């Protein structure tokens, strides 16, 4: 079984997301796709190659940070606020 481990993400808009603990995702292969997820953080990855899956994880974390973690609570649904709190508890952004 393959795993992906990540400790930080260089953000597209600048800065670095630093995870408080390494994020380890188990990768499974199903019907020709490589799949990995972390429901708590909202990560759901599916790619045709392991290399593409590994490349997509930082992009998805960057997107989730921008979409949830820095959003104003009044713009988020209750489940989105739960995701925001999970992201804030898992990582911080360093400029």
Nearest Cα to 21, choosing from 3, 4, 7, 39?
A: 7
Look up the pTM and report it: 0.91
pLDDT for 5 equals: 95
Residues in the chain with pLDDT values less than 50: none
What one-character DSSP code corresponds to residue 73? G
User: What's the pLDDT score for residue 13?
Assistant: 85
Q: What are 39-59's pLDDT values in tens digits?
A: 999 999 999 999 999 999 999
**What is the predicted pLDDT for the residue at 1?**
78
How do the domains of the chain map onto residue ranges?
Answer: 2-94
């Amino acid at each position: 079984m393959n795993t992906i481990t990540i400790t930080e993400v260089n953000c597209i808009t600048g800065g670095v997301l630093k995870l408080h603990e390494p994020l380890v995702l188990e990768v499974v292969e199903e019907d020709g796709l490589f799949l990995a997820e972390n429901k708590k953080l909202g990560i759901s990855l599916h790619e045709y190659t392991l290399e593409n899956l590994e490349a997509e994880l930082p992009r998805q974390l960057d997107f989730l940070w921008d979409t949830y973690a820095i959003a104003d609570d009044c713009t988020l649904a209750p489940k989105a606020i739960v995701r925001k709190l999970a992201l804030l508890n898992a990582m911080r952004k360093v400029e």
